[in-house]
Amino acid sequence: MNPLNITERATATGPVIAVAGDLDHTHAVALRQRVASLALQPGQRLVIDLAGLTFCDSSGITAFLAARQHAVAAGADIVLAAVPANTLRVLTIVGLDQVFTIHPDG
């Protein structure tokens, strides 16, 4: 089990949240809280960079959906970037690849 590490950086278009480690039931609440604390502005883009993600369960997927709700409520966009193949496969199976904008890199 890999601990979850969440870092944040500001860019001209909006915040980038980098997620590394295991995003599971134990750790998903940390991502939800971090995103909920963001003061997003209309027109900004929230990027969730998953290049360092090693595992994601349904709680992690739910955290992505909560992040999307937060962004949409603020009038901002959301992008999932550098999604690992196994997580991308799950997102595709459940149709969330049609809900999220997915970029191949961070």
Q: Residue 10 above 70 pLDDT?
A: yes
Query: How confident is the model at residue 106, as a pLDDT?
Result: 62
> Can you read off the two tokens belonging to residue 103?
């970029």
- Has residue 59 got a pLDDT over 90? yes
For each of the domains in the chain, give its residue range(s) and CATH number, in order of start.
5-103 (3.30.750.24)
| Separation in Å, CA 31 to CA 15, 22, 37, 55 | 14, 11, 10, 14
What digits encode the pLDDT tens for the residues 33-57? 999 999 999 999 999 999 999 999 9
Amino acid 105: pLDDT: 80
**What is the residue-averaged pLDDT of the chain?**
95
Residue type for 73, please? A
